[in-house]
């Protein structure tokens, strides 16, 4: 085989490898069977709050879950209208984060930032005309924060880090009272 | 030829998604952090890494996740060895250091202790802390390694911190704990 043709084989192989590389990286997120949304889909109903069981060696709802954080999750679907998420905030440490199904964290707020012990979020689809990238607080009236979601479906996670193991039970109880629902009566007057 | 290309393409893709590169991750001593994890508009390697990990990370503005699979000397963390993890006071809202096996599972132990946090680790008067990874009970902050083989540590840091700027996590070097091997069985 001539020098020239063996070089062209090397180059063609590298080019093909490059294409395969790019396809792998771009396609993987779509087909990752074990991404967080897929795992949560198996556990939760849409527009319902679920307190994930504490991570233990025997069971973890998501990989690498923190053993000293309690999580409440809501898989929201806005196709039938906005969704309301209500939770108490026991500690400044608590963090409420909103994600798209592919895991983009488009909005996060901590208990320390909220400075109140109870909060309602209205999650609404991002207005067509909205120029903001991701989400922003469109309106903030009293204890209601409006979150504009870039996609119709997503995941909200309330994280409650435990100041110590003895806080676990109480924290789980408080989280179990949080809710996620289509019913936004009583606070829908603040919209529009 | 096709097989070679397939191996190279998949292999390099897998490597950059699992291990990261200087474009996606910062390495600070034994610690590595995916800088854009969870961020809108993150690069495709980070997006793929997050999807594969099955995690839902908070963006680095509000929380950071540092991973270590080696000690400060660069040697693999093994459950049959004993390590001292020591760091200075961390001026953050909260931090937590947890130990897992390489599959990301918590390690079963009689003490049911899987992590130490800012709020429950014993610390010195200057706020510095020392956590000992060991199979057998140790005084102070003892993090048991049970019957696991290789270990990985995850340091979660919540709240505004001194290294949130988009340029990377290089400022963290003085703040992240050192992982020193004490002995092996």
> What is chain B's mean pLDDT, rounded?
89
Query: Any bridge partners for residue A105, and if so which?
Result: A99
**Arithmetic mean of pLDDT, B147-154:** 94
pLDDT digits (tens, 9 = 90+) for B104-113: 999 999 999 9
Mutation choice for A interface testing from B51, B79, B92, B164 by most A CBs within 10 A:
B51
> Across chain A, what does the average pLDDT equal?
84
Among A29, A92, A108, the residue with its CB nearest the CB of B51 is: A29
pLDDT, one tens digit per residue, over A148-183 is: 999 999 999 999 999 888 999 999 999 999 999 987
Interface predicted TM-score (ipTM) of this complex, two decimals = 0.89
Pick among B54, B61, B106 to test the A interface (most A CBs inside 10 A): B54
pLDDT of residue B126: 92
DSSP string across B79-135: TTEEEEEEE----SSEEEEEEEETTSPBPP-TT---EEETTTS-B-TTS-EEEEEES
- Cβ within 8 Å, pair A60-B47: no
* Contacts with B117 from chain A: Cβ below 8 Å: 68, 161-164
Q: Give the residues of chain A that fall short of pLDDT 70.
A: 1, 32, 127-142, 185-192
Chain B residues 116-155 with CB within 8 Å of chain A: 117, 119-120, 154
Q: How many CB atoms lie within 10 A of CB A44?
A: 18
Percent of chain B as helix, strand, coil, to the nearest 5? 15, 35, 50
* pTM over the 0.90 mark: no
Q: How many CB pairs under 8 A join A and B?
A: 176
pLDDT tens track for A122-136: 999 986 434 343 344
Contact between B130 and B121 under an 8 Å Cβ cutoff? The reply is: no
Q: Does B58 lie at the interface with A, CB-CB under 8 angstroms?
A: yes
Across the interface, of A57, A60, A134, the residue whose CB is closest to B108 is A57
| Cα–Cα distances in angstroms (integers) from residue A39 to residues A57, A73, B52, B54, B102, in the given order | 18, 12, 12, 8, 20
Cβ contacts of A28-33, under 8 Å, gap ≥ 24: A28/B13, A28/B17, A28/B48, A28/B51, A28/B52, A29/A102, A29/B44, A29/B47, A29/B48, A29/B50, A29/B51, A32/B48, A32/B51, A32/B52
């Amino acid at each position: 085989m001539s020098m020239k043709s063996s070089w062209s084989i090397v180059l063609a192989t590298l080019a093909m490898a490059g294409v395969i590389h790019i396809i792998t990286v771009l396609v993987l997120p779509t087909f990752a069977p074990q991404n967080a949304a897929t795992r949560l889909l198996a556990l939760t109903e849409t527009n319902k709050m679920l307190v994930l069981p504490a991570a233990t060696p025997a069971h973890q709802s998501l990989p690498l879950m923190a053993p000293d954080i309690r999580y409440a999750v809501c898989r929201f679907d806005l196709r039938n209208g906005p969704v309301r998420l209500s939770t108490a905030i026991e500690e400044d440490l608590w963090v409420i984060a909103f994600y798209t199904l592919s895991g983009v964290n488009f909005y996060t707020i901590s208990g320390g930032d909220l400075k109140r012990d109870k909060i309602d979020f209205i999650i609404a689809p991002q207005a067509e005309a909205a120029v903001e990238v991701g989400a922003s607080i469109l309106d903030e009236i009293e204890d209601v924060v409006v979150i504009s979601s870039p996609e119709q479906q997503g995941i909200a996670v309330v994280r409650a880090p435990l100041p110590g193991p003895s806080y676990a039970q109480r924290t789980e109880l408080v989280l179990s009272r949080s809710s996620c629902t289509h019913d936004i009566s009583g606070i829908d007057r603040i919209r529009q | 030829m096709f097989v070679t290309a397939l191996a190279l393409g998949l292999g390099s893709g897998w490597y950059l998604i699992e291990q990261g590169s200087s474009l996606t991750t910062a390495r600070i001593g034994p610690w590595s952090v995916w800088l854009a994890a969870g961020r809108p508009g993150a690069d495709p390697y980070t997006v793929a890494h997050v999807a594969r990990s099955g995690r839902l990370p908070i963006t680095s503005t509000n929380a950071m996740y540092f991973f270590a699979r080696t000690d400060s000397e660069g040697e693999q963390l093994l459950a049959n060895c004993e390590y001292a993890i020591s760091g200075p006071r961390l001026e953050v809202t909260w931090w937590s250091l947890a130990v897992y096996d390489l599959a990301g599972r918590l390690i079963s132990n009689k003490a049911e202790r899987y992590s130490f946090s800012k709020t429950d680790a014993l610390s010195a008067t200057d706020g510095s802390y020392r956590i000992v990874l060991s199979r057998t009970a140790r005084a102070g902050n003892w993090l048991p390694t049970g019957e696991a083989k290789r270990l990985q540590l995850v340091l979660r840091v919540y709240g505004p911190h001194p290294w949130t700027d988009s340029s990377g996590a290089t400022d963290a070097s003085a703040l992240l704990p050192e992982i020193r091997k004490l002995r092996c069985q």
